[in-house]
A = this chain, B = another copy of it.
């Protein structure tokens, strides 16, 4: 075996998480059975319980992995955008455009947000899962709030605006856009909403 590859167990665990994420996004956590996961991954039930001490542990690992992935993705996206334009406003507008394009490029639309999914099944989960979820949303808030502070310092807003609310609007539009996209089966709804937000940001700080 090539020793740069992960060990067998890590690989299996990742496949369990990947399979579970898809299933949870499609039908919810409660309706996702361990039996179905092990069937697609190809191990036995005891194999599952070697990797996760119970189903709740799976829920936690799933959410943590999802949040970490999203964070890395956003970091790299806005870092690349800033490389294309040193100005905080224009760099951000480029980043939003790239975000919209990324959403457009997903073949079947966005597969769904675990934070939103867990939110509508909150009674299934423990306090630390709730805390993890809340932390993730607050991280997005402060990420974009910091950016808007930078922008506002250079471009005083043309209209009165609550920058925390504007920062939250990103999460709100993404989570809401995913839902509306999925329900009407039009994958362009989500990128459209991001572009609409981009126009709003431009009009706030540039006045068109």
Binding site for B on A (CB under 8 A): 25-31, 112, 115-117, 119-124, 133-134, 137-138, 141, 158-159, 161-162, 165-166, 168-169, 171-177, 179-180, 182-185, 189, 192-193, 195-196, 199-200, 203, 208
Contact = CB atoms under 8 A, between A and B. Distances in A.
Given A28-B120, A30-B28, A176-B176, A168 B189 contact: yes
A123 to B, nearest CB: 4
Contacts of A182: 119, 122
29 contacts: A27-B122, A28-B121, A28-B124, A31-B121, A116-B116, A119-B182, A122-B182, A133-B183, A134-B183, A134-B184, A134-B185, A137-B184, A141-B184, A158-B208, A159-B199, A161-B199, A162-B196, A168-B193, A169-B173, A169-B193, A169-B196, A171-B176, A172-B177, A172-B189, A172-B193, A173-B173, A175-B176, A175-B180, A203-B203
Copies in the complex: 2
A183 B27 contact: no
Contacts of A158: 208
A28 B26 contact: no
